Structure 1
Amino acid sequence: MPTIPELVEQLATALKARGQFMATAESCTGGLIAGACTDLSGSSDWFERGFVTYSNAAKCEMLGVPAAVIETHGAVSEPVARTMAAGAVVNAHAHWSVAVTGIAGPTGGGAGKPVGTVWFGWATPMGVFTERQHFDGDRAAVRQATVAHALAGLLQRLTNA
């Protein structure tokens, strides 16, 4: 798998070739995906903005996630990831987005959602796609794996578009 900086460079190339922009909607990564994107000089040519929506209230207010969806499914769920991704595209006026919501640990996990559980959402011109992953390791490892998977997933969808 390419490194995070390599993924960002490939993503930048693909987005710039289309004249399009991306946004991020992050919970468990706290802005690390946006940070990785903006580490690359010239990212303003393809990166629109990032939403760090760590609290449930932020997910509702900034991305339009209905509180009832969080109450019914929990913040770490497919419907929340899907709505976060869609809300990022709408509220950022971007073409593409990636959203992540998960449990990086070491606390917060449970039987149905252990530490390392992450839901991803990718909003694309073809629709919104979601995926659940589980990553092993400590908090830092889970967050880094989440960043890499989020970027790789967006790049894959861009490449296949």
Structure 2
Amino acid sequence: MVTVYVVKVRVATPRTGRTARRPAVTAASPNVATRVLASARQQGLSVAVAESLTGGSVCASLVAIPGASDVFRGGVVAYDSSIKTSVLGVSAELLAEAGPVSLDVAAAMALGVQTLLHSDVAAATTGSAGPQSHGGVEAGTVCVAAVTGTGLWARTVRFDGDRDEVRAGANEAALALLEAALSDPDSISSWRQGT
């Protein structure tokens, strides 16, 4: 049995309380990707990624690191909901009930790519990059998930900015959640449990 932990997070600037903007290119992402791969390598684990709104940028962040092929199995870009269903095994009922931008769909995508690519750990991204809402979900809403042998975690994050900024934030959030799941799962297991 897998326990799902969820958290909803809104990133805000301390001074204004307004939602923070994320730069389209971040210097932190390569470092996080390096740590994800190093942690997986140290534990003898393989990694896979399923992506929707990020369109392959999480995979690109990982393969940009020399030696990624030691642990990175691959990824699936499932931008269209029919691909989420036919390739990743996300149920059509779940997509209809929860919508494509949801914690449940992110979790199902992570589990689907883990199974499809026979990986030990996996991450997934889905969201609404904007400029308009998607499936009734406000632009800038991102759901990421990570699954390991010890648990499944999903998180909703909200970013302001243009499409590039939202997608860059989603990329960073997915890698950060995967890093936490690999290196310090106790740090995220205190998140409130949900469905």
The answer, yes or no, to whether TM exceeds 0.5 is yes
4+ residue stretches of structure 1 with deviation over 3 A?
A: none
Give the secondary structure class of the aligned counterpart of 1:63. coil
Give the secondary structure class of the aligned counterpart of 1:24. strand
Identify which of 3, 9, 33 aligns with 2:58.
33
Distance 1:69 1:12 in 2: 31
**Structure with max Cα Rg:** 2
Asked whether 1:118 is paired with 2:142, we answer yes
Distance 2:56 2:130 in 1: 17
Asked whether 1:16 is paired with 2:16, we answer no
What aligned pairs does 1:12-161 form with structure 2 within 5 A after superposition?
12-109=37-134, 113-161=137-185
Distance 1:138 1:21 in 2: 33
Deviations along 1:76-119, one digit per CA (max 9) or x if unpaired, are 11211111011111111101111111000112347x52100011
- Give the TM-score of the pair, scaled to structure 1: 0.94
Distance 2:60 2:89 in 1: 23
Which one scores higher on RCO, CA 8 angstroms, separation ≥ 6?
2
More helix by share: 1
Equivalenced residues, count: 160
Percentage identity across paired residues of the two chains: 34
- Give the TM-score of the pair, scaled to structure 2: 0.78
Matched residue type, 1:155? E
Matched residue type, 2:124? A
Matched residue type, 2:184? N
